[in-house]
Amino acid sequence: MTLSQKFVILRKQDIFYKNTFHFQMSLNQIAFIIVFIVCFSIAARQYRRLYRNIHFGKEEKIEGSEGQRWKNVLLVAFGQKKMFKRLLPAVLHFFIYFAFVITQIELIEIFVDGFTGHHRIFAPYLGGFYTFIISFIEILSVLALIATIIFLARRNLLPLMGKPISRFQKTEMNGWPKLDANLILLGELALVTGIFLMNSADIVLQDVDPAHYHKTGSFAISGFLGPLLLDAWPREALVLVERTGWWLHLITVFLFINYLPKSKHLHIFLAFPNVFFSKLQPRGEMDNMPEIMNEVKSMMGLLVEGAAEMEMTDDFPEFGAKDIFDLSWKNIMDAYSCTECGRCTDNCPANLTGKKLSPRKVLMDIRDRVEEVANNIDSQYDHFIAEDKRKTAQRLDPSNYDDQKSLFDYISREEIHACTTCNACVEACPVMINPLEPILKLRRYEILSESAGPADWTPMFNSMENSGSVWAIPDDRDAWTKQLTE
């Protein structure tokens, strides 16, 4: 075979590879756009539903310094400040969290490549900085991989070895919560695997087919793995590995976006607004009920001029919360933001002494109740319309919903009675959730609206009403002050 004939063959191969490459990228572009539209159409519907569910709750006025709120977001939500009270899990969680945040840089390029039909579109413009960014992402991905494996072992292997972490073994963590935690960790493994498959094959392809795979320099991890594992592979196999990694990472991200509304990992998004809208008032400061406060002041002759007294009607007003519609939207956002880490329950003195209360379970129960109500409303089954509104109701909505159930069907009275209102759960939460608020609202409903409560509390209430003291002492509480003036 002459030199010219060899040149013609090589030229034909080059044209074939070029046409094949552009055909593959065109198919890749079409497939990406279709998958993207389907994924985000489904996701948009789910997140609209989530927004609606949160607003099943009552309006709540958010007060306080906006500057302090942004400071909390930076320190607590972004900086993971409260996580570092337990150093080892905090460091491991930080590896996964930081890798997740930084990896979005590479994900942006994947999205741009998918829409435009290009390959590593940023590489020619960023040069050595591009190599540094991808290398940094790979190092973080390795750290995230190590943390993910350790977290899987903590949840699944330690119990088999007889050394379980107690907060992961509570009854509320059985079934779906345990599976949910494992699924998201397996998803992390898929994300990291996709990145290294894609980058490792790409590094080798840069030498095999430099016309279509731009030189990026050697990446920190795949620059070693690629030549070690894939150096002798044919071009077609390398392209298959590279595209497999690209699609594995992308599909995992798409599934992740649609999975979050059903998972405890929704806190990845909601932790930031939840921290921003958290109350700035001192922990333990309870909200007054204006109607009760003004009524008591009126009885004592202390009512401020212009303050509204309780309106006397045939219907006795309801106080506190019986169901999700009586909670605030912030209480419901708290429930959806719960990470199910169990730090609140782990620090609860009532739970530590063997009582039934678990602050984590209370939040999970609120979220489950919200989902039950949401599913029933979505069904538009008129069986759930309140009897007195069936004749006038156009459609089923929160204003006429009644399924003859309440939060007390999820959260037992024994649980809310066990709470000591010590705020240990509030202090422990890494995303500034307040489990105490809904507990107090349920307790207020039981005592003020139902005139119920533990029998042991009744003498205290009677004594407070009759003598202004928790102890049945006939003397006025301020009697001792009179001696000071004599």
pLDDT at site 118: 83
Name the residue among 178, 227, 196 with its Cα closest to residue 99: 196
Residues 6+ apart with CB under 8 A from 268: 100, 260
Q: Which of 75, 56, 57, 137 is nearest to 271 (CA)?
A: 75
Q: Is the pLDDT of residue 17 over 80?
A: no
State pLDDT tens for residues 387-399: 888 888 889 999 8
Q: What are phi and psi of 58, to 5 degrees?
A: -70, 160
Lowest mean pLDDT among 5-19, 219-233, 243-257, 283-297: 5-19
Tell me the backbone φ, ψ of residue 469, rounded to 5 degrees.
-135, 150
What percent of the chain clears pLDDT 90, i.e. is strictly above it? 50
DSSP string, 129-142: HHHHHHHHHHHHHH
pLDDT of residue 23: 54
- Which pLDDT does position 24 carry in this prediction? 66
> In the numeric block, which tokens belong to residue 93?
């969680």
Looking at per-residue pLDDT, the higher value among 471 and 178 belongs to 178
CB 444, CB 319: distance < 8 Å: yes
Mean pLDDT over 448-453 rounds to 84
Residue 112 and residue 53: Cα distance in Å, rounded?
Answer: 33
In b/e form, how buried is each residue of 202-240, taking b as 16+ CB within 10 angstroms?
A: bbbbbebbeebbbebeebbbbbebbeeebeebeeeebbe
Amino acid 433: pLDDT: 95
Domains and CATH numbers, the chain: 14-59+66-262 (no CATH), 319-453 (1.10.1060), 456-486 (no CATH)
Closest-CA residue to 439 (of 289, 301, 321)? 321
Kindly report which listed range (273-287, 300-314, 361-375, 417-431) carries the lowest average pLDDT score: 300-314
The whole-number average pLDDT for the span 174-202 is 92
Q: Is the pLDDT of residue 478 over 80?
A: no
pLDDT band at 300 (very low <50, low <70, confident <90, very high): low
Nearest-angstrom CA–CA distance, 148 and 100: 12
Mean pLDDT for the chain overall: 86
